[in-house]
């Protein structure tokens, strides 16, 4: 979408629809996304805050995040494989990736908070969405893209792409993108949304 739409002020609002496709595949196929796990596994910890429950959550987070990062790296590797995508789409992917890395560390973090909160709200709404899940996923993830919020998994594809073409070092990826966005996503999804949700259901529990 970025490659084929004209360079106009409204292009970003339209191309952001493309961002929703990956989330539709992951969520509708019941695959595991790290930011989906910043609320549901946290509620049992809030109910029973023992070392064992914290360790189980940390184990889940570690496995899912590591697997997500492997997937992101493989996908970025496929993007730079000759002949995999048209040259103009490749150029568009690089343009989007470079634009994301224009954020400083604070912007990466604070935008990650918004993104984490939105994904947690999506997860919280899903059980009651029934036949509206498709549209809710599109709406919430579209807002993340349109708002230029940062997401640890989707953004890692962009960051890895820049690493692979030599525009970004692994150290810079870790310090300028990965760490601030990861913390922001966890703060938004767990510290804000999960705790508020726990307050909502604590009496029922």
Q: What is the pLDDT of residues 101-160, one digit of tens each?
A: 999 999 999 999 999 999 988 988 888 888 899 999 999 999 999 999 999 999 999 999
CB of 24 closer than 8 Å to CB of 134? yes
Using a pLDDT cut of 70, give the percent of the chain over it.
96
User: Residue 49 has what DSSP assignment?
Assistant: -
Q: Alpha-carbon distance 80 to 72, whole Å?
A: 13
Q: Which of 43, 47, 41, 44 is nearest to 60 (CA)?
A: 41
CB of 156 closer than 8 Å to CB of 68? yes
Q: Alpha-carbon distance 15 to 185, whole Å?
A: 23
> Exposed/middle/buried for 200, CB within 10 Å: 0-12, 13-18, 19+?
exposed
Mean pLDDT of the chain: 91
Q: Alpha-carbon distance 44 to 54, whole Å?
A: 9
Q: Alpha-carbon distance 131 to 124, whole Å?
A: 15
CB of 160 closer than 8 Å to CB of 76? yes
CB of 27 closer than 8 Å to CB of 123? no
| Residue 34: per-residue pLDDT | 87
pTM (two decimals): 0.88
Tokens of 60: 């889940």
């Amino acid at each position: 979408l970025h490659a084929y739409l004209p360079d106009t002020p409204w292009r970003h609002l339209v191309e952001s629809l493309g961002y929703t496709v990956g989330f539709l595949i992951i969520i509708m196929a019941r695959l595991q996304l790290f930011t989906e796990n910043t609320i549901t596994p946290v509620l049992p910890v809030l109910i029973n805050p023992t070392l064992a429950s914290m360790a189980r959550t940390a184990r889940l987070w570690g496995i899912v995040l590591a697997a997500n990062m492997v997937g992101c790296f493989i996908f970025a590797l496929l993007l730079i494989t000759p002949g995999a995508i048209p040259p103009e789409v490749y150029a568009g992917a690089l343009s989007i990736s470079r634009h994301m890395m224009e954020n400083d560390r604070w912007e990466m973090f604070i935008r990650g908070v918004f993104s984490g909160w939105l994904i947690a709200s999506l997860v919280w709404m899903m059980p009651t969405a029934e036949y509206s899940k498709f549209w809710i996923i599109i709406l919430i993830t579209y807002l993340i893209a349109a708002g230029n919020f940062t997401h640890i998994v989707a953004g890692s594809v962009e960051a890895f792409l820049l690493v692979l073409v030599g525009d970004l070092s692994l150290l810079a990826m870790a310090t300028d993108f990965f760490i601030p966005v990861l913390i922001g996503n966890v703060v938004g999804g767990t510290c804000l949304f999960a705790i508020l949700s726990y307050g909502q259901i604590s009496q029922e529990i």
